[in-house]
Chains A and B, each alone.
Chain A
Amino acid sequence: MEDDPIREFLVEGSEHLDELDRSFVALEQNPTDKVLLGAIFRSVHTVKGTAGFLGFAKLEALTHAGETLLVKVRAGELELDVEMASLLLRMLDAVRAMFAQVEATGTDGDDDHIELAAALLAVAHPDAPARTSIFAAARASIAAAARISIAAGARVSMPAAARVPFQVVAPPPPAPAPPPTVEPSQPLADDVGGAKASALADSTIRVDVALLDRVMNLVGELVLARNRILQFGTRVNDAGFANASQRLNLLTTELQEGVMKTRMQPIGSVWSRFPRVVRDLAHTCGKKIELDLDGADTELDRTIIDAIKDPLTHAVRNAVDHGIETPERRRAAGKPEVGRLLLRAFHEGGQVNIEVSDDGGGLDLGRIRARALERGLVTSERAARMSDREVSHLIFEPGFSTAEKVTNVSGRGVGMDVVKTNIEKIGGTVDLSSELGRGTTLKVKIPLTLAIIPALIVTAATERFAIPQVSLLELVRLEGEQAQRGIERVHGTTVYRLRGNLLPIVFLDRELELVKEPRAHDVVNIVVLQAEDRQFGLVVDGINDTEEIVVKPLGKELKGMTTFAGATIMGDGRVALILDVLGIAHRSKVVVPGRERTAADGAAATRAAAEPKEALLVLEVGASTRMAIPLAMVARLEEIALADVEQSGGRQVVQYRGAILPLVALDRAVGAEPALPSEGPLQVVVYSEQGRSVGFIVSRILDVVEDVVKICVGTEREGVLGMAVVQGKVTELLDVQGVLMRDEPGFFRRAA
């Protein structure tokens, strides 16, 4: 029984602290707001009083110091400035630390925060003559408050006897009468305000969270039992039973909705800490930022609120640190000095949307692309082919950071990767939109609740699985001939043409290794699913109903399974696994998980990824120049006797297949060191286009290889596209068009 009043104190105290965080920041904007000051004073006074009542002398002393300062500000004797606000905020932090001590050890700890208290008192008495006497005055004041005589230099400690042992009949009221000791007399001028506040408090009650969880669990079980009854109902032909089970169904649904509401909390409870975070951060970074919160009353399930606290905080810190520019840069860009940060939350499409927008510099896609190339996160070709959106999403890759200075404020950009992972872990999505110079918006979508979700039940190899409906786009059924031929293989991938688009296909039974060989079916069921921003089709054996299922987490032993998000108990009492759509997409490589590309793997990893390899013809040109030309461009390889080469109009030609084939000596065309003249036949690579042909004279054909063509170094050399590494050696890529344009311009002019 000793714990209850203390727990009560901690819970209420924490609420006071959160409120005070917000209030102090607001007070900085309006230093003379009387109403605000009154509320602040009341809160601090309450914490101090209860702390004293419970015997936490250090806590009482510190808050007393803060209260002393506040009294003066409230009375108009002092005006709140930045230093005072900072001290008061530090006091809140110290009080929080002491709360943590109380929670852990039952005492307010060893740290008496004497310097902080002294600083508060010093600021409250600005015209006191000497620092040392202020310090002494501070100690004396605190000692008086603590009612413990302090030997000079000794730390304030709490003898056990002073802690009040508890046989409390009722928990202390929210605003206890101050203990008869302590005070410099302060009239509680705000008693009236206190009474009004308690009237409001009567329409709500405080409920232990553990109790709520238990009730929620029970309702979950009730839902399962209801499902079973409904199942029996389909087998029993009794009107009375049917009626009763219908009634049960209705009541259960309403009860479920009601209980889910009790777990809903407004997102404002997460946001409440942001004004303070943004204020502190802006000060540290030397920026001016105004924070707007829109939709603080949007409700989310408690478990989700816990999960998004950290990612959102990080996104906000990122916007302050990297997004919004310094006042100087903003001025130079013609923007108002004060940057704006907007947090919005709203319900839409069965999900909760949260947006973090800043009017900062926006994402520099060019720099992001360059940095990703540097870090080996993408190949140059991939980078060239990426859409703007894909490039902006590169900032979610682990190890990515384009910040000029890595600050210890938001870290190495590792945070954005964690933001995305954490949001996805709860079944949400993140998206970025940005305009260079104007700002960036981070959009987060998360499900309303994790506990009870609608799901589609499917079967694969006689096993049942549940697919969360939130990922479900549509169902496709192929019969007869369509079932045989509808699913095609294109470029080594299995796909289905859905209204003109190629949909990657995953066979659930094969993916889960439930069958050894593929089997033919008369009917093919495709469940079209959404994972991140990609769609794919999951082929299942059968499709059952959509049901509301209770999500039960998998045990610790199974935490590593990426393909399953949890399990549920079906109407017949058997367990069914819930598919993790994103996990399946990753495993089947339909969606390439970003995390697998680490900077360390670099070129090797990108090579191993499904980068298309090109077939190349590798040649020796001139004396020793190594060149390559895509095999696709080669019509034929010929050997031509020197004697057959004729001169015509200043060019070398040969009669070839009934036509005249112009010849181009590649070594001259690309300025390579010419080979020694030989008697042997000429090696000619014939290039044809639209019925016209030209023969490139080379020294030797070296090889035909398949390799990824990655142009490492551009070049100014005529006739050469660039240099690449082919077969481990530096090879120049022939610029066929360029050579032709220069040496055989007629090639292009002649009509087809």
Chain B
Amino acid sequence: MNGIHSTAPRQLCTFELGDMLFGIDVQNVQEVLRYQEMTTVPLASSVIRGLINLRGQIVTAIDMRARLALPPRGGEEPPMNVVVRTADGVMSLLVDEIGDVLDLDATTFEHAPETMTPAVRELVVGVFKLEGRLLLLLHPERIAAGGSTVQRPEEQS
């Protein structure tokens, strides 16, 4: 038995990216919004889509497809915002669709399967087995961490 079961959250806010279903502990989710106008940040990596004005607070919008190394969103549908709050601050995750808030049974929680890509595995704490599909539990602090979000390097002379 592993200790994950005891710390797995019970209520998750869920969203979809492609055909994958993700979830974040509701305690970390401040709100969900439809597409917001963004100001792009020149020189930032493609993970940073821009800055949003959230009632006077400037929030960074993270393109979750880019962050999880998934192919870019096709089509005309604008992304939705999942505003996440961690110890490091507030940021908004750009996702395809917002799902429901689900109550989950800790016994359905498991380690992430080995078949995941490294980019996904980096952010996923574990999975909940739902009927017919997996719900991937995300670690919100890890989304902003790592060099993936820093500006593109200057040319070396």
A224-B151 contact, Cβ under 8 Å, with A463-B39, A608-B157: no
Instruction: Report chain B residues within 8 Å CB of A577.
Output: 39, 41-42, 51
Whether B124 is near chain A, meaning CB under 8 Å from some CB there, is no
Report the bound CA distance from A577 to B59 in whole Å. Answer: 12
> How many residues on the A side are at the interface (Cβ–Cβ under 8 A)?
30
Give the chain A neighbours of B144 by CB distance below 8 A: 555-557
**Contact partners of A563 in chain B: CB under 8 A:** 42-43, 151
Asked whether any CB of chain B lies closer than 8 Å to the CB of A308, the reply is no
A562 at the interface (CB under 8 A from B): yes
Docked CA distance A560–B144 (Å): 12
Q: In the complex, are the beta carbons of B60 and A557 less than 8 A apart?
A: yes
**Looking at the complex, which of B22-30, B87-95, B130-138 is the stretch in contact with chain A?**
B87-95
> Which residues from chain A contact B40 at a C-beta distance below 8 Å?
463
Chain A proximity mask over B84-105: 1 for CB below 8 Å, otherwise 0:
0000111100000000000000
Residues of A within 8 A of B52 (CB): 575
Residues of A within 8 A of B53 (CB): 569, 573-575
Closest to A560 in B: B150
Looking at the complex, which one of A463, A568, A574, A608 makes contact with B37 (CB distance below 8 Å)? A574
| In the complex with contacts A512-B43, A556-B88, A557-B48, A575-B157 CB distance below 8 A | no
Q: Is the CB of A463 within 8 A of B42?
A: yes
Q: Check if A552 is an interface residue, CB within 8 A of chain B.
A: yes
CA distance A569 to B39 in the complex (A): 10
Are A567 and B58 in touch, CB under 8 angstroms? yes
* Residues of A close to B88: CB separation below 8 A: 555-556
CA–CA, A574 and B51, complex, Å: 9
Option from B41, B57, B62, B89 in Cβ contact (under 8 Å) with A561 = B41
In whole angstroms, how far apart are the Cα atoms of A575 and B149 in the complex?
A: 19
Chain B positions within 8 Å of A463 at CB level: 39-40, 42
* A274 proximal to B (CB < 8 A): no
Given A563-B151, A575-B51, A609-B157, are A569 and B42 also a contact pair (CB < 8 Å)? no
Decide if A557 touches B51 in the complex (CB within 8 Å). Answer: no
* CB-contacts of A77-136 with B (<8 A): none
Q: Which residues of A contact B50 (CB under 8 A)?
A: 575
**Nearest residue, chain B, Cβ from A550:** B56
Nearest CB of B to A538, in Å: 14
The reply on A564 being an interface residue by CB < 8 A is yes
The smallest beta-carbon distance between A422 and chain B, in angstroms, is: 21
Chain A residue with minimal CB distance to B40?
Answer: A463
Q: Does A558 contact B (CB under 8 A)?
A: yes
Count of A-B contacts judged by CB separation below 8 Å:
79
A512-B43, A573-B53 in contact; A556/B151 too (CB < 8 A)? Answer: no
B90 to chain A, nearest CB (A): 7
* Interchain CB contact under 8 A, B157 and A561: no
Is A716 among interface residues, defined by CB-CB distance under 8 A? no
Interchain CB contact under 8 A, B42 and A513 = yes
Residues of A within 8 A of B42 (CB): 463, 512-514, 563, 577
Q: How many chain B residues touch the partner (CB < 8 A)?
A: 30
| Chain A residues, CB < 8 A from B150 | 560-561
Q: Contact check, A564 vs B41: say whether CB atoms are below 8 A apart.
A: yes
Residues of A within 8 A of B57 (CB): 552
B57-72: contact bitstring with A at CB < 8 Å (1 yes, 0 no)?
Answer: 1111010000000000
In the complex, which residues of chain B have a beta carbon less than 8 angstroms from the beta carbon of A71?
Answer: none
Report the bound CA distance from A619 to B89 in whole Å.
Answer: 66
A554 to B90, CA, bound (A): 11
Is the Cβ of A569 less than 8 Å from the Cβ of B44?
no
Q: Given A552-B58, A574-B53, A609-B157, are A557 and B149 also a contact pair (CB < 8 Å)? A: yes
Give every chain B residue within 8 A of A534 (Cβ-Cβ).
none
B46 to chain A, nearest CB (A): 12
Chain B's nearest CB lies how many Å from the CB of A197?
Answer: 42
- Chain B residues with CB below 8 A from A567, complex form: 39, 51, 58
Residue in chain A with minimal CB distance to B37: A574
With a cutoff of 8 Å between Cβ atoms, the chain A residues found around residue B41 in the complex are 558, 561, 564, 577
**A692 at interface, CB cutoff 8 A:** no
Distance to closest chain A CB from B152 (angstroms): 8
Instruction: Name the residue among B50, B51, B57, B144 with the largest chain A CB count within 10 angstroms.
Output: B51
**A556 and B58 contact, Cβ closer than 8 Å, known pairs A561-B151, A574-B53:** no
- A608's nearest neighbour on chain B, judged by CB, is B157
Which residue from chain B places its CB closest to the CB of A553 in the assembled complex?
B58
Nearest CB of B to A539, in Å: 15
Q: Which residue from chain A places its CB closest to the CB of B88 in the assembled complex?
A: A556
Q: Closest approach, in angstroms, between the C-beta of B59 and any C-beta of chain A?
A: 7
* B114 interfacial by beta-carbon distance below 8 Å: no
Residues of chain B with a CB closer than 8 A to A555's CB: 58-60, 88-91, 144
In the complex, chain B residues whose CB is within 8 Å of the CB of A597: none
Q: How far is the CA of A681 from the CA of B104 in the complex (A)?
A: 96
A561 with B43: CB separation less than 8 A: yes
User: What 1/0 mask marks residues of chain B from 117 to 157 whose CB sits below 8 Å from any chain A CB?
Assistant: 00000000000000000000000000010000111101001
Q: How close is B141's CB to chain A, nearest CB, in angstroms? A: 10
Partner of B151, one of A562, A608, A610: A562
Measured CB to CB, the nearest residue on chain B to A464 is B39
Q: A590: shortest Cβ distance to chain B, in Å?
A: 13
Q: What is the CA–CA distance of A573 and B38 in the complex, to the nearest angstrom?
A: 11
**For residue B51, which residues in chain A have a CB less than 8 angstroms away from its CB?**
567, 575, 577
A557 to B63, CA, bound (A): 12
Tell me the residues in window 532-579 of chain A with beta carbons closer than 8 Å to chain B beta carbons: 552, 554-558, 560-564, 567-569, 573-577
Given A557-B48, A560-B150: A569 in contact with B89 (beta carbons within 8 A): no
Kindly identify which residue among A221, A514, A557, A569 contacts B62, using a CB–CB cutoff of 8 Å: A557
Report the bound CA distance from A131 to B51 in whole Å. Answer: 70
State in angstroms the CA–CA spacing of A430 and B70 once bound together. 47
Q: In the bound complex, how far is the Cα of B51 from the Cα of A554, in angstroms?
A: 9
Considering the complex, give the chain B residue whose CB is closest to the CB of A224.
B56
Q: Is A587 an interface residue (CB 8 A)?
A: yes
Min distance, Cβ B106 to any Cβ of chain A, angstroms? 31
Least CB distance from A452 to B in Å reads 14
Q: Are B39 and A576 in contact (CB under 8 A)?
A: yes
Q: Cβ of A589 < 8 Å from any Cβ of B?
A: yes
A624 to B48, alpha carbons, bound, how many Å? 63
**Whole-angstrom CA separation of A31 from B155 in the bound complex:** 64
Q: How far is the CB of A424 from chain B (nearest CB, A)?
A: 18
Query: In the assembly, what is the distance between CA of A552 and CA of B58, in Å?
Result: 7
Point out the residues of chain B lying under 8 angstroms from A589, CB to CB: 157
A560, A575, A610 pick with most chain B CB within 10 angstroms: A575
- Complex CA gap A608/B50 in Å reads 35
Cβ contact within 8 Å between A558 and B58: no
Contacts of A221 in B (CB 8 A): 56
* Known A555-B144, A574-B39; 11 more pairs at CB < 8 Å: A463-B39, A513-B42, A555-B89, A555-B90, A556-B88, A558-B44, A574-B37, A575-B51, A577-B39, A577-B51, A608-B157
> What are 27 A-B contacts with C-beta separation under 8 Å?
A224-B56, A463-B40, A463-B42, A513-B42, A513-B43, A554-B60, A555-B89, A555-B90, A556-B88, A556-B89, A556-B144, A557-B60, A557-B62, A558-B44, A558-B149, A560-B149, A561-B44, A563-B43, A567-B39, A568-B58, A569-B53, A569-B56, A574-B53, A575-B39, A575-B53, A576-B39, A609-B157
B interface residues with partner A (beta carbon < 8 Å): 37-44, 48, 50-53, 56-60, 62, 88-91, 144, 149-152, 154, 157
Pairs A-B, 4 closest by C-beta atoms: A512-B42, A560-B150, A575-B39, A575-B51
